[in-house]
Chains A and B, each alone.
Chain A
Amino acid sequence: MNAADSDAQLVERFKRGDRRAFEMLVVKYQRRIERLIARMVRDADLVEDIAQETFIRAYRALPQFRGESAFYTWLYRIAVNSAKKALADLKRDPVIPESAFAQRDEDDETSRGATELTDGETPESLLASKEIAATVNAAIEALSDDLRQAITLREIEGLSYEEIAEAMNCPIGTVRSRIFRAREAIAERLRPHIDAKEGKRW
């Protein structure tokens, strides 16, 4: 199984009528979808609205999804179309100022200056994001070589368990275990940040 069809199991599960499988995919892709939309639209509330619309459309269309492309490619296409439609609607009936539209030269998210906030992004949320990134990076550094290598090959290189097993010369069961242990070790370090605002159900 490669990275491209790593969602096939959940997609299949959803097609059998299990909505939870779809919600799990939402949790997986929400951040990437929002970032993609934020490259086209500046207003944070509008970004979230379009992301919501994207997942609703995906929910409706997923039963017809045949798997010719990877799920995330398909989802990205829906997000781009949703953003384009929202922008076209706004141009026809502008209730949101021109500043809502992201400029083309900001397409690359890394071009945004560290002190520049998008609308709706608070200094607190930015700080929380930075803390999370720093915590994950520190946790990765603290991992044993085996665990760090396994999670890196999986998350950054996108290799399958089988490919990682071959690369690390160990059984697939060991790969599964190493990736799980790496994630757990990092998640434990994240816990103070993640548990800070509890109360709602996942």
Chain B
Amino acid sequence: MNNDPVDAADDPRRLLSAMADGEADAAEVGPGCAAWAADDELGRRWHAYHLIGDVLRSEDLAHSPARDQAFLQRLRLRLDDEPAVLAPQPLQQPQPAPVAAAPRPARRWMPMALAAGVMALATVLVVSLAPSTQGTAGPSLARAPDASAVPVATVAEPALQAQAEPVPPGGRVLRDAQLDRYLRAHREYATALPGSLPGGAGRSITTVALDR
């Protein structure tokens, strides 16, 4: 028995043997598939390797290769009619596009932001320069440490209330408005999408029209 066939590291049959066991290097799998499809001899080898494994496990899996080949040919014809399938790719780079688009709006709003900053600073100054009697009626958070004589459990509650207090009335309305705008924009985009799916050309035009 010849136990010493060509065993060069770059022998494509050697790669197919490793691929049959899922033990090829990840980078080799693509070239392996290409070699399998391009070389009929490698196609026979791939079948033979698996046939050998099947027969070792169970002799009734010893099909005639011609039958297996006919099965694949028939399936190929049906696969030709199938639309190309691609797995949905994970969103690996959602940030770059917004970052690239950001500078222009940022520059446009910069004076407004500066003005808002100045206003905020002015407000802080006014508050801190106001008569000190107002300080005791000021933020609840500032009052909490004063109550440190009472048990710990009861200290925590006023602190939580103090934190929660400013949020409910105004905050909730603001967030809903933003959410509404966001949802409205995306709903419009979503309804625009199906119609433009078959051809890529019309899609960007529709989107631009909605965005502006």
Write the residues of chain A forming the contact surface with B, with a CB cutoff of 8 angstroms. Answer: 1, 5-10, 12-13, 15-24, 26-28, 30-32, 34-35, 48, 51-52, 55-56, 59-60, 62-64, 109-110, 125, 128-130, 132-133, 136-137, 139-140, 142-144, 147, 151-152, 154-156, 160-161, 176-177, 179-188, 190, 193-197, 200-202
Separation of A179 and B22 alpha carbons in the complex (Å): 13
Q: Can you name 8 extra interface pairs (CB under 8 A) apart from A17-B85, A27-B46?
A: A9-B19, A27-B47, A35-B58, A109-B58, A132-B55, A136-B52, A151-B52, A187-B49
Known A7-B22, A183-B17: A155·B3 in contact at CB below 8 Å: no
Q: Chain B residues near A195 (CB, 8 Å)? A: 44
B46 touches A110 (CB 8 A): no
Partner of A202, one of B7, B44, B56, B75: B44
Q: How many residues of chain B get a CB closer than 8 Å to chain A's CBs?
A: 66
Known A31-B63, A32-B54, A181-B5: A52·B86 in contact at CB below 8 Å: no
Number of A-B contacts (CB under 8 A): 214
Q: Is the C-beta of B155 less than 8 angstroms from some C-beta in chain A? A: no
Separation of A175 and B136 alpha carbons in the complex (Å): 80
Separation of A64 and B43 alpha carbons in the complex (Å): 27
Q: Chain A residues near B142 (CB, 8 Å)? A: none
Q: Chain A residues near B59 (CB, 8 Å)? A: 133, 137
